[in-house]
Structure 1
Amino acid sequence: MSRAPLAAPDYASFPSLRGRAVFVTGGGSGIGAALVLAFAEQGARVAFIDIDEASSRSLAHHLAEAGHKVWWRLCDVRDVAALQAAINDAAMAIGDFHVLVNNVASDDRHTLESVTPEYWDQRMAINERPAFFAIQAVVPGMRRLGGGSVINLGSTGWQTKAAAYPCYAIAKSSVNGLTRGLAASLGQDRIRINTVSPGWVMTQRQVKLWLDAAGEQELARNQCLPDKLQPEDIARMVLFLASDDGRMCTAQEFKVDAGWS
């Protein structure tokens, strides 16, 4: 799928992010880790949670070696009380959050026939419910700050009618409803809320589990751009929306999918 090698990107800096407190859910690996790294490199004060202790610890150690100290905690977002406690504790440690990135998700494959009520509830408890309650936890601090930015990670998978994960598709389709349903009320306090919907991003997990010869053909057939999406490509859009550069963007969906959808 790839053509000639790309030159190293010359990415933008966002001075307005320097010193601001940022909270990322599911920040220990994949897209989440790219988000944590990108914000840290902008000089933000970053906190994240994840259920993967090894990856989270490794990321925090890597950032510390580069001079970026981050706050993190092991947390299962299915436990709403633990999620909100982590946000509140992190705010006590590094300050009220100007930015929240609702990134946590799990796109485990399943069929219509295999779904039980218990499995349904588990999928929604990971892929849908945490975003709402994370927003609920950060909004009082954003109001104290005089504004903020919430970025919800959606997906183009349901929009292109991917068939392998109906519960995930349902949960991710609701992200746009969450964004648009809160935009007017949050906007009165200058809190912006947007959706960033990635295409097929080549995280380590995606490559290991799903990228086969048929997948390569899908990429070549459906993407307008020839290069594979990387986690940092999603991070760049999130940085823009988190920064003052995106100060008049709210209630919108921004797709980063190389033209697939």
Structure 2
Amino acid sequence: MSKQNAVYPSLAGKSVFITGGAAGIGEVMVERFCQQQAKVTFIDTAVEKGLKLCEKLKKQYSCAPHFIECDIRNVEALQNSIADAGQRQGDIGVLINNAADDTRHSFEDMSSDYWDDRFAVNLKPCFFSTQAIVPQMIRLGGGSIINLGSVSWRKKQTCMPAYTTAKAAIEGLSRTLAAENGKHNIRVNTLIPGWVMTERQMTHWLDPEIVKEVQQEQCIHATLYPDDIVNAALFLASDDSKMMTAQSIVVDAGWT
């Protein structure tokens, strides 16, 4: 992590809810929001990692995060987690729909059930978390919702058609939710990472030749890391971006 991170005074004391916060980009989001002195609740199915992250950050920051085990495919459990977070740390002013699953799957063998499951993980929670959190943001007088998209569909990537379709839909969903809730001073944007070197990417999909090819296609021939995405998320969550909504912000070093 950079030792000279930007500080956003408007995030101090703010109630933040992050999905998929136990690993990868989400893990770095949790830490960086704690660094901003925000009150953070995050959910994940990776219980051991989630608890370990809380223990680690409790020793480093005055405002330790709170972890809730939750499978985002269970809409009732997701909404209950949001209600619990609001009661515990005050009405939520920042929602980050980060959780996703980019497990590769084939066009030829796709079943209807698997298609529905991919949407239940990668798209559906973005709507129902927003629906649950908007009343809290209205009480606050506004808020920021950040949905994580993907460059995969823009690159016409194969090997995971349900995932790329769901991620493409997130941009449309963000724009319509922005229009729906702008009257409440609630902003909704899509944050789109390029190929970020998370632990999952390195253990599951890393291929040196592909990495080299991707970097050559980027305008900036360098590796993207979670901090690069989180830097943009902090800005979008803060009051510094108070007039930005219904936008798709791409952080991919110029790959697309």
Normalised by the length of structure 1, the TM-score is: 0.95
Are 1:92 and 2:92 an aligned pair? no
For residue 146 of structure 2, give the secondary structure of its aligned residue in structure 1. Answer: strand
Q: 1:138 aligns with which of 97, 116, 133?
A: 133
For residue 76 of structure 1, give the secondary structure of its aligned residue in structure 2. Answer: coil
Q: Is the 8 A contact 2:215 2:222 kept in 1?
A: no
Q: 1:61 aligns with which of 55, 67, 70?
A: 55
| Matched AA of 2:190 | T
| Equivalent in the alignment of 1:217 | 212
1:218, distance to aligned residue in structure 2 (A): 2.1
| Equivalent in the alignment of 1:237 | 232
For residue 184 of structure 2, give the secondary structure of its aligned residue in structure 1. Answer: coil
Q: Could you tell me how far apart the structure 1 residues matched to 2:141 and 2:215 are?
A: 45
| Matched AA of 1:214 | E
Q: 2:32 aligns with which of 21, 35, 38?
A: 38
For residue 147 of structure 2, give the secondary structure of its aligned residue in structure 1. Answer: strand
| Matched AA of 2:27 | A
Are 1:124 and 2:119 an aligned pair? yes
Range with greater deviation from structure 2 (56-65 or 240-249): 56-65
Deviations 1:27-67 (A, max 9, x none): 11001011111111001000000011111111111111113
1:93, distance to aligned residue in structure 2 (A): 0.4
For residue 120 of structure 1, give the secondary structure of its aligned residue in structure 2. Answer: helix
* Structure 2: tracts of 5 or more residues without a match: none
1:249, distance to aligned residue in structure 2 (A): 0.1
For residue 188 of structure 1, give the secondary structure of its aligned residue in structure 2. Answer: helix
Q: Is the 8 A contact 2:138 2:184 kept in 1?
A: yes
| Equivalent in the alignment of 1:4 | none
| Equivalent in the alignment of 1:179 | 174
| Equivalent in the alignment of 1:161 | 156
Q: Could you tell me how far apart the structure 1 residues matched to 2:217 and 2:226 are?
A: 19
Q: 2:253 aligns with which of 245, 249, 258?
A: 258
Q: Could you tell me how far apart the structure 1 residues matched to 2:221 and 2:215 are?
A: 7
Q: Is the 8 A contact 2:215 2:223 kept in 1?
A: no
What RMSD in Å do the two structures reach over aligned CA positions? 1.2
Q: 1:200 aligns with which of 192, 195, 198?
A: 195
Range with greater deviation from structure 2 (169-178 or 7-16): 7-16
Are 1:29 and 2:23 an aligned pair? yes
* Structure 1: tracts of 5 or more residues without a match: 1-6
1:8, distance to aligned residue in structure 2 (A): 4.9
Q: Could you tell me how far apart the structure 2 residues matched to 1:18 and 1:127 are?
A: 29
**CA distance change for structure 1 residues 8 and 45 in 2, over 3 Å: closer, same or farther?**
closer
| Matched AA of 1:48 | F
1:9, distance to aligned residue in structure 2 (A): 6.1
Query: What is the percentage of aligned positions where both structures have the same residue?
Result: 47
| Equivalent in the alignment of 1:11 | 5
Deviations 1:105-136 (A, max 9, x none): 00000111111011111111100101100001
1:255, distance to aligned residue in structure 2 (A): 0.3
| Matched AA of 1:123 | R
